[in-house]
Amino acid sequence: MRIPVPLAKAYRLLNHGPVTLVTSAHAGKHNVMAAAWAMALDFDKLTVVIDKSAFSRTLMEASGEFVINIPARGLARAVVQVGNSNGECIDKFSTFGLSVENEPSTEIPLVSGCAAWVHCKIIPEPHNQQTYDLFIGEIVNAWADDQAFKDGHWSFADENLKTLHYVAGGAFYVTGESLNVEL
Amino acid sequence: MRIPVPLAKAYRLLNHGPVTLVTSAHAGKHNVMAAAWAMALDFDKLTVVIDKSAFSRTLMEASGEFVINIPARGLARAVVQVGNSNGECIDKFSTFGLSVENEPSTEIPLVSGCAAWVHCKIIPEPHNQQTYDLFIGEIVNAWADDQAFKDGHWSFADENLKTLHYVAGGAFYVTGESLNVEL
C-alpha cells in the first residue's frame, strides 16, 4: 500500500543509488523515461540528468515538475523498454503495459509496482540545464510502498519490492543484503 | 590488482549508485571523507556534494582536484568512521588504519581495498558550489581492481569486492544479484 513518506526522510529513498523512472505531464500529454543519473542533493532536494533530446524534458520544462519513481525489481524490463523508446512517437505506458496510479496532488502519473515515488518542483537553473542537462528538484511530496519503506527506512519486507541499480545495456544489480556497522 | 579503466567506461563505476570515499590533498595535507551523494553527470563528468564544513572541501578548492574511491564491503566500518570525524583535527588515515596507494599522476592518496577509483579535476562552478554544495568533476583518470571491474563491466569476480550502497547511520546494502533483461 502506498503511504506518505515524511519529507525529512525522502532523501533516503535515493541514498542507496537506485535506478529511477521519471514521469512528467503537461497539457494532457504524459511520459516516462529511465534515469540512472539521479541523486539526493540535500535533505529536501534532488538532481537528475535529462538529455536535451528527451520528450520528458519538454513536458518537465513546460510544467515545472516531475516525479522520480523508484522501480521494484519486477519492472526491470520496463526500465529498459522506456529507456529505449521515444515518448513523442508512442504512448510508452500503453505500449509497454505500464499501470499508473493517480495522485490527487499532481497530474503526473505514478508508475505502479514501484517501491517509492518522489514528486519535485523544478528549481530553475538555466545554466545547469543547458550546459549539463542537470535538473534540480525541490521535493514537495514523497510516498513509498509500506512493504518496502517504513518509519523512515527501507525494510524490503516484500523481497519483490527490492530496487534496481543500473549497470549498462539491460544489466542491473538488485539491492543486496543489508549490513550494519556499530561504532 | 589495480588496472586502468578506459575513460569512456569510467561513468559505469558510479552508475549503480555506490557510496564513495572522497580523497583530496594540498600542500602536504590530505584527507578522506564519505559521500553518498555522488553520481555520473555525463560520460566524462561526475558530481558530488561536499558540505561547506568539510575540511576536504578546503583541500579540493585549493588543489582543484579530488578522487572518488568506491569502497568494497570490507571498508563499511571505515566509511562510517571517516564520515563521523573531522580531518582538520585528526589524520583519518592513521587514526582508522586506512592504507593508501600512491598513484604517480596525482598527490591524492587512493584508499586501498576499494573496488575502483576515479580522479577528477574540478570544473569551477561557483554558484553550484556556494548554493548547493555541488561540485562537478571532469574525469581525468580511472582505475579498478581487476577482480571487481574488467572489460568495461563490473564482474565482482571476488565477492569481497562488492560495493556498498548507503542507507543512513551505519546501515548499508551490499550490491546484490545481477539481473539481465533481453528485449
pLDDT tens digits, residue range A29-41?
A: 999 999 999 999 9
Using the 8-state DSSP alphabet, how is residue B102 labeled? Answer: -
Residue of A nearest to B164 (CA): A16
- Residues on chain B touching A134 (C-beta within 8 angstroms): 41, 47
Whether B174 and A176 lie within 8 Å, measured CB to CB: yes
- Residues on chain A touching B175 (C-beta within 8 angstroms): 165, 173, 176
Whether B132 and A136 lie within 8 Å, measured CB to CB: yes
Q: Which three cell numbers stand for residue A52?
A: 536535451
| Residue A139 at interface with chain B, using a CB cutoff of 8 Å | no
Give the residue from A16, A113, A71 showing the smallest Cα distance to B175: A16
User: Is the distance from CB of A163 to CB of A73 less than 8 angstroms?
Assistant: yes
pLDDT exceeds cutoff 90 at A158: yes
Residue A129 identity (one-letter amino acid): Q
Q: Which of B13, B20, B39, B122 to mutate to test the interface with A (most CBs of A within 10 A)?
A: B39
Q: Which three cell numbers stand for residue A73?
A: 525489481
Question: 87-126 in A: which are within 8 Å (CB) of B?
Answer: none
Among A128, A164, A178, whose Cβ lies nearest the Cβ of B171?
A178
Alpha helices in A86-180 (DSSP H): 92-95, 126-132
In the predicted model, residues of chain B with pLDDT beneath 50 are none
Whether B173 and A174 lie within 8 Å, measured CB to CB: no
Q: What pLDDT does residue B183 have?
A: 85
pLDDT band for position A69 (50/70/90)?
very high
CA distance A124 to chain B (A): 13
Whether A39 and B41 lie within 8 Å, measured CB to CB: no
pLDDT by residue (tens digit) across A91-146?
999 999 999 999 999 999 999 999 999 999 999 999 999 999 999 999 999 999 99
Q: How far is the C-alpha of B118 from the C-alpha of B139, rounded, in Å?
A: 7
Taking residues A144-161, what's their average pLDDT? Answer: 96
How many C-beta atoms lie closer than 10 Å to residue B127's C-beta? 11
| Residue B81 at interface with chain A, using a CB cutoff of 8 Å | yes
Whether A168 and B84 lie within 8 Å, measured CB to CB: no
Q: Which three cell numbers stand for residue B115?
A: 573496488
Q: What is the total residue count of chain B? A: 183
pLDDT band for position A71 (50/70/90)?
very high
ipTM: 0.96
Using the 8-state DSSP alphabet, how is residue B72 labeled? Answer: B
3-state helix, strand, coil in chain B (%, to 5): 20, 45, 35
Q: How far is the C-alpha of B169 from the C-alpha of A172, rounded, in Å?
A: 26
Whether A179 and B127 lie within 8 Å, measured CB to CB: no
Whether A167 and B18 lie within 8 Å, measured CB to CB: no
Q: How far is the C-alpha of B41 from the C-alpha of B48, rounded, in Å?
A: 10
Q: Which three cell numbers stand for residue A163?
A: 530496487
H or E, element range at A29: strand A29-35
Average pLDDT, whole number, for chain A? 97
Give the residue from A7, A167, A142, A158 showing the smallest Cα distance to A69: A142
pTM for the whole thing?
Answer: 0.97
pLDDT band for position A183 (50/70/90)?
confident
Q: What pLDDT does residue A1 have?
A: 95
Among B127, B175, B180, whose Cβ lies nearest the Cβ of A171?
B180
